[in-house]
Structure 1
């Protein structure tokens, strides 16, 4: 909702904090959630001299967030609560990724662009339910990032606070609910490579994926119970197929 931008921005800024230049943050030098690269591009676009992101003004921060994150995920057109949840996700991990997560939840093509089809699908769902599923999926994905060990504690708190505030907004349709839901900074841009170990663990927790692989391995075990070069060869092929299946599942989760 258009009316929710100012309040959503205030909460996001609490989570983003001030100037940070953590060596493990893939975003690099960041101030109020705006990376130096993003700020430099914004200044050049507006024919202004490049300067440090430390010097960014509040007006510039609001303008960048509105144009590059809120508008990018159609914040004005999203239902109350979901607008904030998607906006915070977009700021932390990119608008396209946030949009794709929502699109998968509502069952439309996850092209990373929220358009008429996505908005129509969202309109047929409960905003509270989508918020809950989005925050759960976001947290699961965050745990797979290689930077989880460094930033995970703050990210987990951030997602929990976003979920609480977003659901309150959804329940109230529109009401100021500033308060303890946004408590303190949770720095670190959530993007970059995923941990292979975490991704494999995520795949193995998928009962459907495990069931398919287990079936292949079971067939291989049965063949290995007999004798003969042909049986051994077929069993070897089945084992390779199972390993290839796991590899493709991991690749799919990382995509």
Structure 2
């Protein structure tokens, strides 16, 4: 388990979200009054919503200039305290940390934690604590592998050097064991679960293409983090 990927994960979120946006059609750019009506167009930056920044800056009133001028240190602090730490990302394997963190940033901490718990077969209370982490540490390929979707199974076969017809039988399980592939498997299974969840969301018709593209980039980056961690383990003295 590692917490050293925070900077890489944060860079992914910042790049995926982009800079300042004042799109009036995005509800995340608005502050609302006590009756839930759109009141002030604040905008967003790096994916920090108007409500999130208002909560962070309370009791001072947030303005559009505050959002436009949001600095990286504040972004870092919000991400760490509101997402990375609540999702226990420092205790997650490399690659899975990004998958949980970025999905949480995009869809909410509770949604990301609950999805991870569903994959692990534990109570979906939306809070990653000792029980969930213990289940993750004890996760077995035989329980995780059947949850993989066909597209990600193809990716798994390719990365294991197996033919597409390999299925999810003993050949795949032996290859995963030889290559210490549990982290890769967790990323690919969780990726498919996230895609299915996105397709069920109310805004999928409008935002779905972007959500799925982000999931693909998230998965590719997470797999690169898995590979980098494996390389560090094999070559601990490599600069």
Question: What is the TM-score of this pair, normalised by structure 1?
Answer: 0.64
1:104 corresponding residue in structure 2: 118
Distance 2:108 2:230 in 1: 25
Aligned residues: 174
Task: Describe the superposition over 1:79-103 as per-residue Cα deviations: whole angstroms up to 9, x where unpaired.
Answer: 1110011000010000110000000
Asked if 1:50 corresponds to 2:62, the answer is: yes
Q: 1:22 Cα deviation (Å)?
A: 3.1
* Structure 1 segments unaligned to the other structure (5+ residues): 177-255
Corresponding position of 1:5: 6
| Residues 1:69 and 2:83 are matched in the alignment | yes
Contact 1:131 1:163 in 2 (8 A): yes
Q: Which has the higher contact order (CA 8 A, sep 6+)?
A: 1
| 8 Å CA contact 1:96, 1:112 repeated in 2 | yes
Q: Which residue of 2 aligns with 1:148?
A: 204
Q: Which runs of 5+ in 2 are unaligned?
A: 30-42, 140-181, 233-239
Structure 2 partner of 1:160 = 216
2:50 maps to 36
Pair member with larger Rg: 1
Cα RMSD, aligned residues only:
1.9
**Which residue number corresponds to residue 169 of structure 1?**
225
Separation (CA, whole Å) in 1 of partners of 2:204 and 2:25: 10
Local SS of the residue matching 1:18 = coil
C-alpha change, 1:27 and 1:116, in structure 2 (3 Å) is same
Determine the structure 1 residue equivalent to 2:168. none
Measure how far apart 1:56 and its partner are.
Answer: 1.3
Displacement of 1:122 in angstroms is 1.1
Distance 1:94 1:59 in 2: 21
Distance of 1:3 and 1:175 partners within structure 2:
15
